[in-house]
Structures are given as structure tokens and as C-alpha cells.
Chains A and B, each alone.
Chain A
Amino acid sequence: MKAFTNVHLPDGGSANVMIGGERIAAIGGDIPAGAETIDGQGKLLAPGIVDLGVFRVDGPAFRFGGIVRAALMPDQSPPLDDPGLIQRAAYSGKPDIWVHPLAAATRGLKGEELAEFGLMQAAGAKAVATGRRWIADSGVMLRVMRYAAAFDLTVVSHAEDSGLTGSAVATAGETATRLGLPAAPAEAEAMAIARDLALAEISGARLHVRQVTTAAGFDLIRAAKVRGLPVTCGITPAHLLLSDLAVSDFRTFAHLSPPLRSEADRHAALEAVRDGTIDVIASGHDPRGPEDKRLPFADSAAGAAGAETLLALSLNLVRDGVIALERLFELIAANPSRLLGLEGGRLEPGAPADLILVDQDAPWRVDSGRMRAAAGNTPFDKLPVQGRVLRLFKDGREIA
């Protein structure tokens, strides 16, 4: 038996938290005799982060960022479209990190033929994902959703109408025009969401739009939730904190997919966090080295290393009064866990003892040259942030 004492909890309270074996035994009450006591020194004890949608299993970055479980996108080499690959991916982080692979919705992620969801689910896949791209063929997407619904698998989609986006690397507007970058209208997102919502309605599938980044997109999700559709959506801190002005000077670290949007869309994203439209905040962790990033902007790969900065950047939302601390941990732990059908992500007796001890105020500076991640491609280079994971426990066992 272990017992955390002198900690405060996301709901603002403070209580002793007892761990029995791999699970939380009790919250509150006296420390049992003989228990090993861990003095939290007044810091925050919270559920370990469940990161819905990473592109690489990156232990050191996850450890630093307080991520105990990560849903791995199927965009691997080769794509996760086969039960054997799913099984191997599911073991790739153990024992320290649990990797929950997302099954490719179509073979080779080509958007044409259904992949073997059933067998992949049996091999450990927790959801089905379209990958980095949208499935352009609506007939294929409908079959994906119907088939996934039968296996009770959530479909995780990427929402950008590929006909509109083409080879675009930026959002159409003043910045892209000044820089001469191929750009697509932000409406490409709402068009994709509208279609996928219609298909979700026909098929009865649970739909999770991994990243929604525009006001029009949020409006559609909001309305669908009111209608009672089983739809959820997520975002990464980049789209909450940055607009497309960040790509000025051709900074390839700010080349993301979907691309950064206008300041008005960024404000709409903050509002969507505030009003509950957004269910998940994830890192989108996608470390990319110089061979992918030290290139002319349009030739560079999209993506950012986000695992280390997810918690500290998200804590800004609490400090700025957008959401309460308790809600933040729903967004980064409880909700993604529930979406994937996992047990973790909650502070309650019986839940796995996946816990992080956090100093919310500890200041540090993001430095792309000194990241734990496999590569330092962060659009937040040199940004001073606050909030650091002091200790991390997986199934009651401390991970160094």
C-alpha cells in the first residue's frame, strides 16, 4: 500500500490518496498503518495524461509530459492496417507507457478498401482512424462507419476536404498570400465535418473529429451534439495559442495539418473549449527532424513535437480562466480514455493508479534545441511556460 499525502486534487480539494497494488484504493481518509507515504509537498496529484493521437511512440517526451497512455495514429511505416502490426504497436511502449494503436480505416490508408477492423480490434486496436488524411470517397467513408459501428469502434477522422485542400500548406488569407504559399479556404474543414456528420447519422457510428480548428467547424459539431449525435472533437494547443501569423518568415515548425488558422478562428476555438464543444486536447505529437523540416515551407512535412508541452500549454487555459483545472483533466485524461474504452484517466477508487504529481507553477522555457522528444520541432520555441510533471506513476509503479 502507498499513500499520497499533502497533495491537492484537480477538483480543488485535498485528500490522502491510497494506492493498493496497481489501483487507486481510496481517496480521502486516514493513511493505513504500514503504508509507504509519499509527501506531495502541496503539489497537484492528477490522473496521468491520455493522449489521443500521436504519430510516434516517444518515451522520453511522454515521460516529461506526464503522458501515461498514448493512442498511436495508424500513419506508421508500414501503416497499421494489419492485426500483427497492431499487436506489435500495442506492446511497443511497455512497461512504462501504454500504447493504444488506432487501426487504419482503409488498407494502406489509401481511402479505398476497408481494413480488417474486427481482427485488429481483437489484436488491441481501440478505435479506427482515417489517418492524416480525409477519406475523399463518401461511399468508402460510409462503409467504414457502418462497419466500425458494428464493432462498437469510434471512427477518428481528419476533417479537411481534400478536393479543396489539394497541395495547400496554409490557410487562404493575407499571410499565405503575402508569403506566396499554396493555400486552401478554411471552409475545407467545415465541408468535411458536414459530410462526416451526415454519414455518422446514417451509420450510427461514433465519430471523433481529431482536430477541429475553425468557427464553422465548431458550429457544426455544436449543432450535432444538440441533435444528440454521438460526436466528439479534439484540438491541439497549437491551434488554441497560435494563428497563421506564426508561419510568417516561413517557419516550418509552424507547418501543421490542418494548417494554422485566422485569429478569429483561434478565438472560436477558445470559446469551444470554454463551452464544452471540444472534448479532447491532445498533443498530436509528431517529431520531425531536419530532413523533414529544414526545407522550403511548402516542401516541409507538417507536424509538431507536442508531447512535452501539452500539459504546460494547456494549463494556460486554466490560468486564463477559460476552464477549471478539473475540466482540463477531463479534456486530457478522462474523455480520451472513455473514447477509447480504457479504464484510466480518472481519479476514483478502483481506477488504475496512473498518476502524475505536477508543480503547476514551475517555470521553464521551451527550447527546440533541448527537447526530450525524438526531434525538437515545436512552434513554441523559446516560449516561457509554467507547469511541470515532478513524478509519474503507471499502475502504481513510479516511472523514473
Chain B
Amino acid sequence: MSDARMFPHRHLLGIAGLQPHEIGFLLDEAEQWVELNRATSKHDDRLRGLTLINAFFENSTRTLLSFEIAGKRLGADVVNMHAAQSSVKKGETLIDTAMTLNAMRADMLVIRHASSGAVRLIADKVDCPVLNAGDGRHEHPTQALLDALTIRRRKGRVHGLTVAICGDVLHSRVARSNILCLTSLGADVRVVGPPTLIPAGIEQLGVATFTDFDAGLDGADVVMMLRLQMERMTGGFVPSLREYHAFWGLTPERLARAAPDALVMHPGPMNRGVEIASAIADDPDRSAITEQVEMGVAVRMACLDVLTRRRRGVEGWA
């Protein structure tokens, strides 16, 4: 029997602040949804009557779709709001938008925004639980949870594994949430990338840093590739795509440096031929990329369920 002591948080704004057992609880909860999602009838009614608003202030296709499916499979009324970045960029408007959504009596808000901290700002102003679907370079907690679930299912554990997170760590919320999540669960985490894309002080998050890709991959159990945003090229962070691929692109030859059964992951969407070669991305024995997408729906269902338990008056949570 679970109760609110298992997850005593009103919102899910990041992995920071979560205890290892709370992360484990969310992963355990997600397992049942993996099963349901694989059945022919993929429906559960526990969020019936609740309004879930996905407010995306930054473009997204797959994450938005994943949250929409997660909400619908749990029976919620799901509304998607695409706020063009231009019209909602100025601040009071962001708060005003949040207050508007609140006044419409949303029962759960899922928010993505291009600025670090924006989701927390909204969470402080509304009455319902808020789930961070990515804020700037800060956090993307459900991505880290789905990655941890994928690793746990493929490797049987997270503790003690060596995970190399590779690429544009500086601009990546996926990297930050994964570093916090994986180190919390006892993995040995490395970050690997061009020196211009490794943020200062990242070692203090308990990771080792490498600029030499081969050294960083050496013996890794999990190789997590990050998307290289094309606009980083114009920002002068790397000289060219071909140079990036030559030194930090994952190829079959490079992957041979990792453990023989190393798992390759990518949060998507991939730049094939830049950070990852197609031969790896498409190899079902090595790549967990489609499985990550599948786990994404399950993890998001678990989070929506858990965060709305108090509101729904679930025994032990109300």
C-alpha cells in the first residue's frame, strides 16, 4: 500500500530535491503502465473528469505527444496549448497566462518553456500540480526518469553502471536531469564533449568530465548521446558539423571502446550523421532509442497519476 510518504511533492519541477527512493517509486509505478500500453485496450479511467493542460511555450512534437497520450490513456481531458514564443516572451504575460490556465481550473499543468526557472515561476502562482516538461537548460525530469527506467529494464539495475553522457552538455536540460537522477541512483556518470560545451563546475555534480570521446567511452555500460542544436554552430561553440562528427560523433568504431553490451540512448530528435551514425541508431541490439520513447509514455502516466492523487482523494494521499 502506498501513501503520500512515498512521494511527498506537490509538483515535479526537477530531479533536484528528489530522494533516491522517490525516484525508484516513480519508476516502479511506471512498470504497470508499460504493461497496459502493450495491451490491446490501453485505457484506464483514474483521471476521469480531470483537466490536463499541456502548455508548451517552446516548440515540441514528441514530448507534447507523449504527454497527450499519457493523459488520454488515464482518462483525463487533455488540452494542448501552443503559445508562440514571440507573444508570450515578456514576463508578466507568462504569469498572466498561468493565472488564466489556473482560472480555467486545470487539475494538472504540464509546462515547457525556453527559460530556466520559468516552470517554477508558474508553479508558485497556480493551485494545481505542475509538471516540468523542460525549462531552458535547467531540467527535464520525465526524460531522466524514462531514461532511468529504460536502463533499469535493459540492464536490470542502475547502481554501479558507468554512464557516459555525450555532446552538448552546456545547453542540455536532459543532461542536467540525467546527471542528478543517475548519480542519485548510484551510477558512475561521465560527461563527454567539446570543451566549449561542458559547463563550468559540472564536476561538483559528482561527474567526471572528458573532452576525449574515446577515453570517455572506455568501458561505458550506457552511452547517452545528446542532440546538437544546429544553432550552436552559428554561436561558434563548434567549428563545423563535420569536425563535430569527426571527434564527438558516435560511430560503430568508436562504440567498440565501450563495454561489449553497451546500451546506446538518445533523447531525440536525432541528427543522423552528426552526433550519431545511422548504423548505431538503427541497431536494435545496441540502441534503446525507440524503447526510450515507449518508456516515456509510461513514466508520464505514472507522474500524472501520482501528482493528482491528493486531488483525487486517493486513500493515503488525500
Q: How far is the CB of A76 from chain B (nearest CB, A)?
A: 22
B204 and A180 form a contact (CB under 8 A): no
A369 within 8 Å of B by Cβ?
no
Interface with B: A3-11, A126-134, A293-301, which one? A293-301
Taking CB atoms and an 8 Å cut-off, the chain B residues in 119-135 that contact chain A are 120-121, 135
A219 within 8 Å of B by Cβ?
no
Question: Contacts A291-B91, A294-B91, A296-B94 given: A179-B200 contact, CB under 8 Å?
Answer: no
- Give complex CA distance A174, B200 in Å: 7
Tell me which of B94, B115, B173 contacts A297 (CB under 8 A): B115
B300 within 8 Å of A by Cβ?
no
Interface with A: B69-77, B136-144, B253-261, which one? B136-144
Q: How far is the CB of B128 from chain A (nearest CB, A)?
A: 20
B138 and A173 form a contact (CB under 8 A): no
- Give complex CA distance A292, B200 in Å: 28
Tell me which of A173, A177, A250, A290 contacts B92 (CB under 8 A): A290
B199 within 8 Å of A by Cβ?
yes
- Number of A residues contacting the other chain (C-beta, 8 Å)? 25
A180 and B139 form a contact (CB under 8 A): yes
Tell me which of A177, A249, A295, A297 contacts B200 (CB under 8 A): A177
Residue of B nearest to A298 (CB): B115
Name the A residues within 8 Å of B113 (CB-CB): 296
B118 and A172 form a contact (CB under 8 A): no
A353 within 8 Å of B by Cβ?
no
Name the A residues within 8 Å of B121 (CB-CB): 250, 294-296
Taking CB atoms and an 8 Å cut-off, the chain B residues in 190-221 that contact chain A are 199-202, 204-205
Residue of B nearest to A251 (CB): B117
B200 and A181 form a contact (CB under 8 A): no
B280 within 8 Å of A by Cβ?
no
- Give complex CA distance A298, B89 in Å: 12
- Give complex CA distance A249, B17 in Å: 11
A32 within 8 Å of B by Cβ?
no
Residues of A contacting B: mostly: helix
B314 within 8 Å of A by Cβ?
no
Q: How far is the CB of A95 from chain B (nearest CB, A)?
A: 36
- Give complex CA distance A249, B90 in Å: 20
Question: Contacts A172-B200, A185-B200, A296-B136 given: A179-B117 contact, CB under 8 Å?
Answer: yes
Q: How far is the CB of B88 from chain A (nearest CB, A)?
A: 11
B18 within 8 Å of A by Cβ?
no
Name the B residues within 8 Å of A179 (CB-CB): 116-117, 138
- Give complex CA distance A179, B180 in Å: 12
Taking CB atoms and an 8 Å cut-off, the chain A residues in 149-204 that contact chain B are 172-183, 185
- Give complex CA distance A291, B93 in Å: 9
- Give complex CA distance A296, B91 in Å: 7
Name the A residues within 8 Å of B116 (CB-CB): 179-181, 250, 296-298
Number of A-B contacts (CB under 8 A): 81
Q: How far is the CB of B161 from chain A (nearest CB, A)?
A: 23
Provide 12 A-B residue pairs closer than 8 Å at the C-beta atoms, listed in order of the A residue: A172-B199, A172-B201, A174-B204, A178-B16, A179-B116, A182-B137, A183-B199, A250-B121, A291-B91, A296-B91, A296-B117, A300-B91
- Give complex CA distance A290, B90 in Å: 11
B176 within 8 Å of A by Cβ?
yes
- Give complex CA distance A249, B138 in Å: 11
Q: Considering residues B16, B94, B95, B116, which has the most beta carbons from chain A within 10 angstroms of its beta carbon?
A: B116
Q: Considering residues A173, A181, A290, A292, which has the most beta carbons from chain B within 10 angstroms of its beta carbon?
A: A181
Question: Contacts A297-B117, A299-B115 given: A180-B136 contact, CB under 8 Å?
Answer: yes
Taking CB atoms and an 8 Å cut-off, the chain B residues in 154-177 that contact chain A are 173, 176
B200 and A176 form a contact (CB under 8 A): yes
B137 and A294 form a contact (CB under 8 A): no
Q: A179-B138, A294-B91 are in contact. List 9 more A-B contacts (CB 8 A).
A: A177-B199, A177-B200, A177-B201, A180-B173, A250-B117, A296-B91, A296-B135, A296-B136, A298-B117
Q: How far is the CB of B205 from chain A (nearest CB, A)?
A: 7
B89 and A250 form a contact (CB under 8 A): no
Name the A residues within 8 Å of B91 (CB-CB): 291-292, 294-296, 299-300
Top 6 A-B pairs, shortest CB-CB distance? A295-B91, A180-B137, A296-B115, A250-B117, A180-B138, A172-B200
B120 and A250 form a contact (CB under 8 A): yes
- Give complex CA distance A249, B13 in Å: 11
- Give complex CA distance A298, B173 in Å: 15
- Give complex CA distance A180, B95 in Å: 21
A294 and B95 form a contact (CB under 8 A): yes
B92 and A294 form a contact (CB under 8 A): yes
A178 and B117 form a contact (CB under 8 A): no
Q: Considering residues A179, A181, A292, A300, which has the most beta carbons from chain B within 10 angstroms of its beta carbon?
A: A179
Q: How far is the CB of A164 from chain B (nearest CB, A)?
A: 12
- Give complex CA distance A273, B173 in Å: 39
Q: How far is the CB of A183 from chain B (nearest CB, A)?
A: 7
